[in-house]
Structure 1
């Protein structure tokens, strides 16, 4: 009789695990879908805020391809100048700066392609940036004001080198070795 009792105990345990597993799968799928919805909503709200409109009033057609093209024209084109590693002008110790510089220029994609293919404007811009970076002191560029002043100087000098207005200078890395 103990064998019959053991068989009857095993059957309910197997049925008990299946609803638990299905419940977990549904819970995980719902959590993933909810997370994606929240992320997409936050991204749409940020895009609407950068365009100056109310995220609740955003229309479906505003975020289409035409909207991105207009946004790209307003923002300019991105000209990467790659990584720079320079000795800084500190006299009390040997210090280095490693940074990755990208220029946002007032040009369309065709003009950007032309600048990149000529290679001379990009080489001149890199040279100007190297000269500017190597004359900096670590204490000056470690502050937010120092970085802002450096960005202005880079924008002014590289604009002359590439013969286009530089709208912004972007640092994707900025490491000072002390």
Structure 2
């Protein structure tokens, strides 16, 4: 049993770095092409939507009706003593006079609601959106569904 030794010339040849460079260049080219196609709107149609919207959209016909600020004293178990609340109502312009006429009733509804809310909800910063939607719903019941579009809270301070 004799072993045959391979001549020194037949050692495995190393592959060059050329396939790696070609693969890397291809990946960069395809990535750049994909980015350009998406950004320019050739894919997903983003370019069509931008062309159809006007550059200067007309503002809606709205009026802001200020609601008198409300100060509510909180119970003895709270860390704060008072809640100061101020807001404005976004109203379609034809209904501004009617909503202005109902402001005492709106203040009463907001005051009653804020006094009934639990102290933990008032102190929770994430609860403001829930409170806002509840107050807007009550204001819309008082004024009618289509008169008040939104309630904008300009001041909500616990001190």
Where on the TM-score scale, by shorter chain, does this alignment land: which range? 0.5 to 0.7
Pair 1:71-2:55 in alignment:
no
Pair 1:80-2:66 in alignment:
yes
1:77–1:164 Cα change, 3 Å = farther
Q: Distance in 1 between matches of 2:150 and 2:99?
A: 17
Q: If the length of structure 2 is used for normalisation, what is the TM-score?
A: 0.56
Asked if the contact 1:84/1:130 (under 8 Å) is kept, the reply is: yes
Structure 2 equivalent of residue 21 of structure 1: none
1:72-103: CA deviations, max 9, x gaps? 23xx4322112110123x45247210011112
User: More helix by proportion, 1 or 2?
Assistant: 1
Please, which runs of 5 or more residues in structure 1 have no aligned partner?
1-51
Deviation at 1:138, TM superposition (A): 3.5
Q: If the length of structure 1 is used for normalisation, what is the TM-score?
A: 0.51
1:170–1:115 Cα change, 3 Å = closer
Structure 2 equivalent of residue 171 of structure 1: 153
| RMSD (CA atoms) | 2.6
Asked if the contact 1:124/1:162 (under 8 Å) is kept, the reply is: no
Q: How many residues align?
A: 108
